[in-house]
Amino acid sequence: MGLYRILSSIVTLICSFFAISTLFILFVSMANPAILFQCFIMASIVLYGWFANRFFAQVIILKKTMSKKQKDWLQVNAIVTFIASAIWIGGCVLILTSKEGLAEVIKMFPAEAKITTKQILQAVDISLVISSLLFAHVIWTYLLIRTNKKYFES
């Protein structure tokens, strides 16, 4: 459980950053509604982090019951987080393994930005670590939910 606690702390930090980012994305989406989908995904990841922390504190540590509604919120947001992180991992791996993928990413930035390949690769590495941590946390949380079924109201 110690490793899960450490992983949960890291996921909480990630979700805190995502919460702040979601607020900014929400304001930007008022000018460009196409960004609302990204805002939805970010909000789902933040909600997953919140309900995963509640699950850990309430069920794993305190051995108290959790309502079916809270379990449903946890599972629904875990599914969105799982899919988003899987897609994110795939994109990172594609960029890291394909020179064409990296070239496409570089083309997305204007020439005035002066973003180097090294900077993009560092950002992709960070993204890969974050998405992998989220992916592992979701899987581990689902396993803990299954092994602690008795703590959920029916």
pTM of the model: 0.89
Residue 21 is which amino acid?
S
pLDDT in tens, the chain (154 residues): 789 999 999 999 999 999 999 999 988 888 888 889 999 999 999 999 999 999 999 999 999 999 999 999 999 999 999 999 999 999 999 989 988 888 888 888 887 878 888 888 999 999 999 999 999 999 999 999 999 999 988 7
